[in-house]
Amino acid sequence: MSDILLFNPPAPGGQGYTREGRCTQEAGVWGTQWPPLTLATAAALLRRDGHRVTLRDYPATGAGLLSLTDDLRTLRPGFAIWSTGTPTLSSDLDIARVVRGNSPASVTAVIGTHVTVRPEEALCEPALKIVVRGEPEGIIRELCRCAGALADVPGISWRDDDGAIRHNPDAPWLDPDTIPAPDWDGLDCDAYRLPLKGRRFLIAAPVRGCPYRCAFCTAPLYYGSRLRRRPVAQVVDEMAGSISRYGIREFFIWADTFTADRRYVQELCRFILAKGLRISWTCNSRVDTIDEETLRLMKQAGLWMISFGLESGNDAILAASGKGITAAQSCEAVLMADSLGIRTAGHFMFGLPGETEETMAQTLTLALSLPLDIAQFYAATPFPGTALYDDALREGWLNGAGKGGAFAQNSAVMELPGLPAARVDAFRREAYRRFYLRPRAAARVLSMTEPGALAGMAPLLRRFLRWMR
Ligand code: SF4
């Protein structure tokens, strides 16, 4: 039995920071800090094995390095394992030296999509011992069971006693029947609040894996390309447990593409209804995997908002990016959800290969024409491990920031032919201004805002002003 510290490390500047699989971003969409699903799921497996696990999400509570060093000195954990993200990679790797300085005997290990594809880069940090590649929870469990025999742990890259970096074979994906409910104990659940509503929420992840091949997406690196569905009874039990244990009835159903299997979604919704679970939830979806019957059932089971990755208003760009949808399908899905009284969020991207001033204008026109409640405009980001990254490298599109590894969706790093990165960033800001500075958009946002959340609106407003500047 070991003492294990699992944590989301403090972020540079002390701001909120979500590092969860393909989603690594400053305080998430709309300023929301996500509960650290992977760490909590790993905690469940480790506690089941009898380990003493301390779970920390330092950015969620504004805690900084001082809190981490306090924990390290107090706990002296056998393992210190933390999440990393591309935008914060350098400071995330520096954490290894903080661990070594405060708890020298701790075995250090990191998880995340970036380190999965570039383990050598991470292991250049001498204080880091292990990189967990891919879906982390099962690998972490084996690591904590292995009694130092690292060569026997599939799915890790590590530094041996001679300083050589060794790459063990990949680990198998977890059997979805064996994925436990996340164990959030140790986290401050008050820190996770829905934007505009201010209500506490947790993440539920019924499905893992994505069979699609979007050139810009890191999802398959983390959960693979095969859809793995957890038994609906287990998912519903987990939600019921969140109500009884933490008093939380709001969920973000997080899956790479939750609606990829409509039959499964319908089964889950029917189970929620049959159990009489009074919950409220949001989810993400693809516009070509949804239909009216399923949406109606989802609404009955508690869905209040659905997020679609619409990406572009230009079909040629959508096709070239491998997204496999059309602008017409985007219109149809958003209108359908809106007509059923389900709130909609649209996620768009500027600066994909083939982008021009004209195609960016088409995307903005699409956003403005749809009855969206929320729109997010990102810069297309060539995260390492994606086909977009390979293209950007081959074509020489990466600018100085990109070559320096500064990949984040709020700042373009690709100099496309005829479209400088600075122009993409300027257009993003213009898109935010033109979308939200409309009476209709403001009315929609206000209609979602609950009185109790008004006090927490200041950071959101600051964020908006920053986006639009
Ligand atoms: S549908 Fe595309 S963008 Fe969405 S998770 Fe799958 S690969 Fe990523």
| Residue pLDDT, tens place only, 50-109 | 999 999 999 998 899 999 999 999 999 999 999 998 888 899 999 999 999 999 999 999
Q: State the distance from the centre of ligand 1 to the C-alpha of 438, rounded, in angstroms.
A: 30
Q: Which two tokens stand for residue 251?
A: 């969920």
Distance from residue 125's CA to the centre of ligand 1 (Å) = 31
- Cα–Cα distances in angstroms (integers) from residue 417 to residues 169, 306, 379, 392, 395, in the given order: 40, 35, 16, 11, 10
Q: What is the mean pLDDT of residues 196-215?
A: 93
Domains parsed from the chain with CATH numbers: 3-167 (3.40.50.280), 193-468 (3.80.30.20)
188: confidence class by pLDDT, cuts 50, 70, 90: very high
Which tens digits make up the pLDDT trace of 217-256? 988 888 999 999 999 999 999 999 999 999 999 999 998 8
pLDDT tier at 33, thresholds 50, 70, 90: confident
pLDDT at residue 3 is higher than 60? yes
SS3 content of the chain, % helix, strand, coil (to 5): 45, 20, 35
Model pLDDT, residue 460: 61
Cα–Cα distance between 428 and 432 in angstroms, integer? 6
d(CA 200, CA 41) in angstroms, rounded, equals: 19
Cβ(200)–Cβ(193) below 8 Å: yes
Token match 């060093």: residue?
Answer: 69
The alpha carbon of 213 and the centre of ligand 1 are apart by a number of angstroms equal to 7
Residue 131 has pLDDT above 70, yes or no: yes
pLDDT, tens only, 309-334: 999 999 999 999 999 999 999 999 99
Q: In which band, very low, low, confident or very high, does the pLDDT at 12 lie, cut at 50, 70 and 90?
A: confident
More confident residue, 287 or 408: 287
Predicted confidence (pLDDT) at residue 358 exceeds the cutoff of 70: yes
Q: Is the CB of 223 under 6 A from ligand 1?
A: no
228 C-alpha vs ligand 1 centroid, how far in Å? 15
Q: Is 21 in the pocket of ligand 1 (CB under 6 A)?
A: no
214 ligand 1 Cβ < 6 A: yes
Q: Tokens 């290990």 belong to which residue?
A: 109
Give yes or no for a contact between 156 and 132, defined as CB atoms under 8 angstroms apart: yes
Q: Over 90: is that where the pLDDT of 452 sits? A: no
Q: Which among 36, 44, 39 has a CA at the least distance from the CA of 17?
A: 36
Predicted pLDDT of residue 457: 62
This prediction's pTM? 0.92
Closest CA to ligand 1's atom 5? 256
The H or E element containing residue 96 is helix 89-102
Calpha distance 338→334 (Å, rounded): 6
Q: Is the CB of 309 under 6 A from ligand 1?
A: yes
Per-residue pLDDT for 401 more than 90?
no
Nearest CA to 348 out of 330, 332, 324 is that of 330
454 pLDDT higher than 70 = no
Q: Is 385 in the pocket of ligand 1 (CB under 6 A)?
A: no
Q: Average the pLDDT over 379-404 and give the result.
A: 91
Q: What are phi and psi of 337, to 5 degrees?
A: -65, -45
pLDDT of residue 165: 97
The CA 134 to ligand 1 mean position distance, Å, reads 16
Share of the chain above pLDDT 70, in %: 94
**In angstroms, what CA-CA distances link 317 with 124, 280, 365, 409?**
37, 35, 15, 18
Cβ of residue 212 lying under 6 Å from some atom of ligand 1: yes
Give the CA count within 13 Å in the CB-facing half-sphere of 340: 23
Most ligand 1 atoms within 8 A of CB, residue of 256, 258, 323, 388 to mutate: 256
Distance CA 196, CA 12 (A): 26
Summarised one tens digit per residue, pLDDT across range 141-182 is 999 999 889 999 999 999 999 999 999 999 999 999 999 999
Contacts with 373 (C-beta within 8 Å, 6 or more apart), sequence order: 305, 343, 344, 345, 444, 445, 448
Region 431-444: mean pLDDT is 94
Q: What is the pLDDT of residue 462?
A: 65
Residue with tokens 């496999």: 324
First to last CA, the chain: 52
Tell me how far the alpha carbon of residue 210 lies from the centroid of ligand 1, in angstroms.
6
Q: Of 196 and 41, which is predicted with more confidence? A: 41
Q: How confident is the model at residue 29 (pLDDT cuts 50, 70, 90)?
A: very low
Specify the pLDDT at position 449.
86
Closest atom of ligand 1 to 220 CA is 7
Ligand 1 close to Cβ of residue 311 (< 6 A): no
Using the Cα atoms of residue 217, residue 128, residue 109 and residue 58 in order, give the sign of their dihedral.
negative
Q: What percent of the chain has pLDDT over 90?
A: 80
Q: Ligand 1, from 22, 23, 217: best to mutate by most atoms within 8 Å of Cβ? A: 217
CA–centroid distance, 197 to ligand 1, in Å, is 27
Decide if 42 contacts 112 (C-beta within 8 A): no
Query: What's the rounded mean pLDDT across residues 259-272?
Result: 97
Q: Note the pLDDT of residue 45.
A: 97
Q: Determine if ligand 1 sits within 6 Å of the CB of residue 256.
A: yes
Widest Cα–Cα separation across the chain: 65
Helix/strand/coil (H/E/C) assignment for every residue in 29-80: HHHCCCCCHHHHHHHHHHHHCCCEEEEEECHHHCCCHHHHHHHHHHHCCCEE
- Ligand 1 centroid vs 5 CA: distance in angstroms? 31
Is the distance from the beta carbon of residue 257 to the nearest atom of ligand 1 less than 6 Å?
Answer: yes
- Secondary structure class of 15 (helix, strand, coil): coil
Minimum-distance ligand 1 atom for the alpha carbon of 211: 6
Instruction: Give 223: exposed, middle or buried? Use CB within 10 Å, 0-12, 13-18, 19+.
Output: buried
Position in ligand 1 atom list of the atom nearest CA 284: 4
Distance of alpha carbon 421 from its chain centroid, rounded?
24
Mean of per-residue pLDDT scores for the chain: 92
Q: Is the CB of 238 under 6 A from ligand 1?
A: no
Q: Is the pLDDT of residue 402 over 80?
A: no
